[in-house]
Chains A and B, each alone.
Chain A
Amino acid sequence: MAAILSVRNVTKKYIMGEVTVEALRGVSFEVDEGEFVVILGPSGSGKSTILNIVGGIDFPTAGEIYYKDTPIHTADEKRLTLYRRNSIGFVFQFYNLIPNLTAKENIELASELSQNPIPASELLEKIELSDRAGHYPAKMSGGQQQRVAIARAIAKNPDILLCDEPTGALDFSTGISVLKILRDFNTDYRKTVVIITHNAGIAAMADKTLYVRDGLIDRITTNETPAAPEDIEW
């Protein structure tokens, strides 16, 4: 299987006056097309930094990132925008829905950007919120908002879905329902999914798990028989 993402020797330094913080100290890994990848690691280890750089919203200090065979580390703002638009879906811990748009409109905001979007109604059904289509985010629970956020990320029909602690703010059962949607997207639409989590249990779902520590990849494990979300130990 071909790698959809290749990360080679990526470093990230923050220079703050006298002090230099090395958030990433040479990270390399590959993600294959259609894989379900989990990134695990303690707080401050550099997980978000990796995801942001891979998703084209942050820049590495050094190193190379390839999407399929396209270099991302040398792309200018215009190409990065196109990359985010066509290939990447982002999901954040705090949803970031547009408060002024209804659930459905939030999803359509994304589909308007795509050549071959997944219809909003189909996605609403998938996330079991068809009856909430006209609701504004402020009137929805955290879990519902996160499901809408995921639907919005998926609506563009991107190749890769990047999720930074998508269940971080949710309770157990809500978390499971969100994971199920991500898994379904991974299997039904054959898309690549990368999730950051603090929760080691989630790694059981993954085809591949990256363990990050101190700005480095500690180890990478692969899992031939990923567990179903329902069977995860939280």
Chain B
Amino acid sequence: MVKPKLLKKILRSMWGAKKSYFACVFVIAIGIVCYCALTTVCDSLQYSLDNFYRDTRFADAFATVSEIPKARLAALDGIEGVAGVEGRLSETGRVLTEDRETIVTLRLIGVDPQAAWTAAGTAAEASSAVPAGAGAQPGASAHAPAPAASSAGSALNMYLADGGGLTEIDDILIGKAFLAARGIAPGDTIEIALYGQARAFTVKGSVQSPEYIYTMPNDGSLFPDPMTFDIAFVQSGALETISGRQGAATDLAFALESGYGFDDVKSPLEDALKNYGLAALYSRDDQPSNLLVTQELDSIASMSAPMSGLFLFVAAAILYIMLRRIVEQERTQIGTFKAFGYTNREVVSAYILYGLITGFAGGLLGALLSIPASGAYFDLFSEYFNIPSVETQVNFRYLFTGIGLAVAAGGAAALLGVKNIIKLSPSDAMRPSAPAFITGSLADRVRFLPLILTKRGMMALRFIGRNKLKSALILFSIAISFSVMSVTYSFNTLIDQMIYDQFNKSQIYDIKTVLKGPAAKEAALSAFRGLPGVRDAEAIIELPVSVVHENRTRQIALTGLNAGSAQFRIIDDQGRLYAPPTDGLILTKNFADSMGLTRGDTVLIKSPLLPEDKPVRISNVIGTNFASSCYMDAAALADFFRQPDFATAVVLLTEPGESARVKEALIRGENVASVNDARRILENYRALMGSYISLIYMILLMAILIAFAIIYNISSISLSERQRELATMRVLGMTTAETAEVLTFEHWVLFAAAVAVGIPMTLAMRQALTAAISNDLYGMPSGTPPVAFIYSAASCAISVFLSNLAARRQIGRFSLVEVLKERD
């Protein structure tokens, strides 16, 4: 459609202005990287998750009981809607290590060795496996792993063993993160103490289970800490023998018949399990690991469109401005083309090529860059989520959609930019453009402005005022990058602030000791206070319960705290202090929201300690940045359960320098399940956030580069538009700096306006992001510290400054004679 000569001309003039086009291509590419990488990661994760759940037969419902004989499970099968039941025994065992300051525990799960994929590794490895029979590992099948074992055909929540199955009674499979953190390799021996008995296991390899994609320790810690806790799978026979709980199950999983939902089986199951100490009964949606993974996936998915949209908008805005300029500049040429007999259509489509080519280049670059980007993002994800790693499939559908989006954005921007060509008659085109209709601009309306501004300032202000659309686009583009920067800066600053607050204002203690079971409060306290090196001790309660509201059930640690505590206090994200309520619960906002609860509602508490579910009022909902919590006054909590005052954990402040000694002593304690150093928790949190922070820095860098690309581009467009004016000023005897002032002043005014617009824009973005990203694990810190605005303003200011410097240099290099020679 486009004549070859016209194409050649366009390619040449694009090359002439290559820096500007590169800037555009860059911004588009960023947008497309966001789009392609996020959708690809999301898709790959969803895909591998779905596959994993399907292949391992992830259960539809779950229950935790104190103990139920496996023989009784068959009866549950008879409940209408229940298709299958699986019971496993689980126990927390202590790993005997050289480490004298930490208690290392593993959640031991007894499984049927058949209920595993014995095929080593992932689908990817299996498909490229050695030829069948050619020395393959015993039990390894060359085809894609499938739950093959016939006796396990109906098993639920099968696990994936990497490195070999549980063939011997003392074999053990442990979470990958734990093995990595503690440097344990297959073949090593690990000693685990349970009920006072130590027993050696041979590490066969790592394990992945649909129930433990995300592993939350069960000692009330907020974050995974693979150094001290993980899951481990052993043969059920082994676990039954050590614990002396022959034929017992604690963790139940149910498959439902198709057509039945959790609500259909909930009350019959509740009734059936009531007598076995039912602690929790919940659906797959509320399964803790699944819940977190799903939330994470949702937040990734919800970011993709707005992020890429913002960047594409910015790129389209620049492109539009550039093309408007090109058409203006080449109006004589356009007139000539038309006079030669080219149709409007031919000329317009030729000029649209500028946009299409730029869009295509940006889209292609973005699509290509998205391949490593999604790989990196996926790796980041799999650091915390233990899921069989699929290769991030290069999904051509997304790559093509990405390129298509970019081309469309480029084409649309170009079409808008060049549509004036149609109106241009050849004779008009030959004449210089009619001056823009001149109305009074701000510079004229505000009386005092002419008094304080130089003529150069006036020129700049009028220029802004006379090109309202262009100025608005520039302003918004800068405001967008400013906001992206502020959001990322604020996120970063707030994480530090929030960690600081949490560990200096809320969890002030040095050490938290979790007891193996509830102990009488006074006895526990006096035991701990008596330890040398302990400055003060305080007893708290952390009790796993199920919170039931309408059709949702969630497990949470109900935390009982003491009024006037100096070590563990309830504090919200605004730094406000709350007394532990004696007449109800305080819930954190993320938890309340996920359950659809508000202050004043009543929920049911389910616990083996309660003969039946007991109602309690929500006395307050507070915003925090940390994991879901649920607080009550410790004494009131004991009352609630009709128990005398008790403690499940003790928090301590140590004398300076005595921390190690205290920990050593604690670890030897009879009734001690775990000892947590507050500093370690803090470090863990930082590590968790650390990977997000690296992502943040990436985004930040992009935002800064984009801000620079925008401002630089605008500056070079302005330069070319106004070189005649600028040259005239030079001839009048103005220095390069004085001349550049016309441009630089304009940039600074736009910068100031962009910051003014960017501040509310940031607040809006922050709210949207908080909503999108918060999950049960961590909150997106809310609020935007002023320092974030200062940083971003400074970053934008640097971009303005550098662009101004470049503009000044270019003005200095003007050949005055050349510029002024031709008439405009």
Residues of A at the B interface (CB closer than 8 Å) are: 48, 52, 55, 57-58, 77-78, 81-86, 88, 90, 92-94, 96-101, 105, 108-110, 112-113, 136-139, 152, 156
User: Are A100 and B824 closer than 8 Å at their CB atoms?
Assistant: no
Number of A-B residue pairs with CB-CB distance less than 8 Å in the complex they form:
82
Closest to B727 in A: A96
Chain B residues with CB below 8 A from A55, complex form: 731
Chain B residues with CB below 8 A from A82, complex form: 733
User: Are A138 and B455 closer than 8 Å at their CB atoms?
Assistant: no
Closest to B443 in A: A100
Chain A residues with CB below 8 A from B435, complex form: 99, 136-138
CB under 8 Å from chain A, chain B span 794-824: 812, 816-817, 820-821, 823-824
User: Are A156 and B729 closer than 8 Å at their CB atoms?
Assistant: no
10 A-B pairs besides A77-B812, A100-B725, A156-B733 with CB distance below 8 A are A81-B733, A86-B733, A90-B731, A94-B823, A101-B459, A108-B455, A112-B455, A113-B732, A138-B434, A152-B732
B659 interface residue (CB < 8 Å to A): no
User: Are A58 and B816 closer than 8 Å at their CB atoms?
Assistant: yes
User: Are B732 and A110 closer than 8 Å at their CB atoms?
Assistant: yes
Q: Which of A52, A77, A105 contacts B455 (CB 8 A)?
A: A105
A-B contact pairs, 18 of them (CB 8 A): A57-B730, A81-B735, A84-B731, A84-B732, A85-B733, A88-B733, A93-B823, A96-B820, A98-B728, A100-B462, A105-B455, A105-B458, A109-B732, A112-B454, A113-B732, A136-B435, A136-B438, A152-B732
Chain A residues with CB below 8 A from B824, complex form: 94
Closest to A93 in B: B823
Closest to A88 in B: B733
A156–B729 Cα gap in the complex (Å)?
13
A82–B730 Cα gap in the complex (Å)?
10
A69–B456 Cα gap in the complex (Å)?
33
B791 interface residue (CB < 8 Å to A): no
User: Are B732 and A57 closer than 8 Å at their CB atoms?
Assistant: no
Task: Give the contact-size bracket for chain B.
Answer: 20 to 34
CB under 8 Å from chain A, chain B span 712-744: 724-725, 727-736
User: Are A96 and B728 closer than 8 Å at their CB atoms?
Assistant: yes
CB under 8 Å from chain A, chain B span 503-535: none
User: Are B729 and A109 closer than 8 Å at their CB atoms?
Assistant: yes
Chain B residues with CB below 8 A from A92, complex form: 820
User: Are B455 and A101 closer than 8 Å at their CB atoms?
Assistant: yes
User: Are A156 and B458 closer than 8 Å at their CB atoms?
Assistant: no
Residues of B at the A interface (CB closer than 8 Å) are: 434-435, 438, 454-456, 458-459, 462-463, 466, 724-725, 727-736, 812, 816-817, 820-821, 823-824
A138–B454 Cα gap in the complex (Å)?
21
Q: Which of A52, A96, A105 contacts B724 (CB 8 A)?
A: A96
A44: min CB distance to chain B, Å: 13
A98–B731 Cα gap in the complex (Å)?
13
Report if A98-B812 is in contact (Cβ < 8 Å); known contacts: A85-B732, A152-B732.
Answer: no
A136–B436 Cα gap in the complex (Å)?
11
Chain B residues with CB below 8 A from A84, complex form: 730-733
Report if A99-B455 is in contact (Cβ < 8 Å); known contacts: A57-B816, A113-B732, A136-B438.
Answer: no
User: Are A85 and B816 closer than 8 Å at their CB atoms?
Assistant: no
User: Are B817 and A109 closer than 8 Å at their CB atoms?
Assistant: no
A177–B777 Cα gap in the complex (Å)?
83
Chain A residues with CB below 8 A from B727, complex form: 96
User: Are B731 and A57 closer than 8 Å at their CB atoms?
Assistant: yes
Closest to B456 in A: A109
User: Are A113 and B733 closer than 8 Å at their CB atoms?
Assistant: yes
Chain B residues with CB below 8 A from A136, complex form: 435, 438
A162–B376 Cα gap in the complex (Å)?
65
Chain B residues with CB below 8 A from A152, complex form: 732
A66–B248 Cα gap in the complex (Å)?
109
User: Are A138 and B438 closer than 8 Å at their CB atoms?
Assistant: yes
Chain A residues with CB below 8 A from B734, complex form: 81, 85, 113
Closest to A77 in B: B812
User: Are A101 and B458 closer than 8 Å at their CB atoms?
Assistant: yes
A55–B733 Cα gap in the complex (Å)?
10
Report if A156-B725 is in contact (Cβ < 8 Å); known contacts: A98-B459, A100-B462.
Answer: no
A156–B823 Cα gap in the complex (Å)?
25
Among B434, B435, B729, B733, max chain A CB count under 10 A is at B733
Chain B residues with CB below 8 A from A113, complex form: 732-734
Q: Which of B730, B733, B735, B817 contacts A58 (CB 8 A)?
A: B817
B818: min CB distance to chain A, Å: 10
Among A55, A57, A86, A93, max chain B CB count under 10 A is at A57
A118: min CB distance to chain B, Å: 14
A100–B724 Cα gap in the complex (Å)?
12
Closest to A138 in B: B435
A156–B725 Cα gap in the complex (Å)?
18
Closest to B466 in A: A100
Chain A residues with CB below 8 A from B823, complex form: 93-94
Chain A residues with CB below 8 A from B463, complex form: 100
A88–B434 Cα gap in the complex (Å)?
31
User: Are B732 and A156 closer than 8 Å at their CB atoms?
Assistant: yes
B164: min CB distance to chain A, Å: 76
Chain B residues with CB below 8 A from A78, complex form: 735
A98–B455 Cα gap in the complex (Å)?
10
Closest to B739 in A: A81
Q: Top 4 A-B pairs ranked by shortest CB distance?
A: A85-B733, A138-B435, A84-B733, A57-B816
Report if A52-B817 is in contact (Cβ < 8 Å); known contacts: A77-B812, A99-B725, A100-B466.
Answer: yes
A58–B731 Cα gap in the complex (Å)?
11
Closest to A89 in B: B732
A92–B817 Cα gap in the complex (Å)?
11
B600: min CB distance to chain A, Å: 63
A194–B725 Cα gap in the complex (Å)?
23
User: Are A57 and B735 closer than 8 Å at their CB atoms?
Assistant: no
Chain B residues with CB below 8 A from A86, complex form: 733
Chain A residues with CB below 8 A from B724, complex form: 96
B739: min CB distance to chain A, Å: 10
Chain B residues with CB below 8 A from A97, complex form: 728
Chain A residues with CB below 8 A from B812, complex form: 77
Chain A residues with CB below 8 A from B733, complex form: 81-86, 88, 113, 156
Closest to B454 in A: A112
A150–B377 Cα gap in the complex (Å)?
65
A21–B690 Cα gap in the complex (Å)?
66
Chain B residues with CB below 8 A from A48, complex form: 817, 821
User: Are A90 and B462 closer than 8 Å at their CB atoms?
Assistant: no
B750: min CB distance to chain A, Å: 16
A97–B817 Cα gap in the complex (Å)?
16
Chain B residues with CB below 8 A from A138, complex form: 434-435, 438
A93: min CB distance to chain B, Å: 8
B471: min CB distance to chain A, Å: 14
A136–B459 Cα gap in the complex (Å)?
12
Chain B residues with CB below 8 A from A139, complex form: 438
Chain A residues with CB below 8 A from B458, complex form: 100-101, 105
Chain A residues with CB below 8 A from B462, complex form: 100-101
User: Are B817 and A100 closer than 8 Å at their CB atoms?
Assistant: no
A137–B817 Cα gap in the complex (Å)?
22
Chain B residues with CB below 8 A from A81, complex form: 730, 733-736
Chain B residues with CB below 8 A from A58, complex form: 816-817
A138–B439 Cα gap in the complex (Å)?
12
B814: min CB distance to chain A, Å: 10
Chain B residues with CB below 8 A from A112, complex form: 454-455
Among B463, B732, B820, max chain A CB count under 10 A is at B732
Closest to B814 in A: A57
Closest to A85 in B: B733
Among A48, A100, A108, max chain B CB count under 10 A is at A100
Chain A residues with CB below 8 A from B732, complex form: 84-85, 90, 109-110, 113, 152, 156
A92–B731 Cα gap in the complex (Å)?
11
Closest to B821 in A: A48
Chain A residues with CB below 8 A from B728, complex form: 96-98
Chain B residues with CB below 8 A from A98, complex form: 459, 725, 728-729
Chain A residues with CB below 8 A from B820, complex form: 57, 92, 96
Closest to B437 in A: A138
